[in-house]
Chains A and B, each alone.
Chain A
Amino acid sequence: MFPELNSILNTSPDHFPRGEFTLVSDRQADASFLIHHFLSFYLRAGCKVCFLGLVQSFSHYSAVSQRLGVNLAQAKEKGQLVFLEGLKETLSILLRENRSSDTDTLSFLSRSPCTDLRGLFGFVRGCVRGEQGPWGPPVLIVDDLSVMLSLGVSADALLDFSHYCQATVCSELQGNVVMLTRGEDEEGEDDEDLGRLLTGLAHSCHLALRVRGLATGYCKDIHGEVELCWRGGRTSVNFSGLTDHRRVYQYKIQDKGVSFFARGTSSAVL
Chain B
Amino acid sequence: MAARMKNVNKASLNQGVSVTVGTTSFQKKSRSKFVSIPGTRPSVQNGQLIVSTGVTSLDYVIGGGLAVGSLLLIEEDKYDSYSRMLLKYFLAEGVVCGHSLFIASAKDHPDEILKELPAPLLDDVPNTNAEHLQKQGSDPECQDSMKIAWRYQNLPQVQTTLASSTRFGHYFDVSKSMNSEMRQAARCDLFFLPSELPLESPEDISRMNIGYTKLLRSIQGVIHREGFDGACLQNKPRSILRIGIHSLGSALWGDDICYKESPHYAHSLTTFLYSLRALLRGSLSVCMVTVPSHLIQNKAIMSRVTKLCDTVISLESFRGSKRETNPLYKEYHEGLLHVKQIPHLNCLRCEVPDTKDLAFKLKRKQFTIEYFHL
Contact = CB atoms under 8 A, between A and B. Distances in A.
Interface residues of A, number: 45
A254 B207 CA distance: 40
Interface of A: 30, 32-33, 36, 56-57, 59-60, 63-64, 67-68, 87-88, 90-91, 94-95, 109-110, 112, 147, 149-152, 182, 184-186, 188-192, 194, 218, 220, 223, 253-258
10 contacts: A64-B346, A87-B278, A91-B279, A94-B206, A149-B304, A186-B299, A189-B300, A191-B300, A192-B300, A194-B300
Contacts of A253: 348-349
Given A94-B206, A149-B304, A152-B267, 14 more contacts: A68-B348, A91-B275, A91-B278, A94-B271, A110-B207, A112-B207, A150-B304, A150-B307, A185-B303, A189-B299, A189-B300, A191-B300, A218-B356, A223-B352
Interface of B: 205-208, 213, 216-217, 220, 266-267, 270-271, 274-275, 277-279, 281-282, 299-300, 303-304, 306-308, 340, 344-349, 352-356
B136 to A, nearest CB: 43
Contacts, number: 103
A220 B353 contact: yes
B202 to A, nearest CB: 13
Given A87-B281, A147-B308, A220-B354, A186 B348 contact: no
B347 A63 contact: yes
A150 B274 contact: yes
Contacts of B344: 30, 32
A94 B216 CA distance: 10
A186 B300 contact: no
Contacts of B303: 184-186, 189, 191
B91 to A, nearest CB: 25
A109 B207 contact: yes
B299 A59 contact: no
Contact of A185 (B207, B266, B340): B340
A95 B274 CA distance: 12
A56 B340 CA distance: 19
A45 B114 CA distance: 55
Given A90-B275, A94-B208, A110-B207, A57 B281 contact: yes
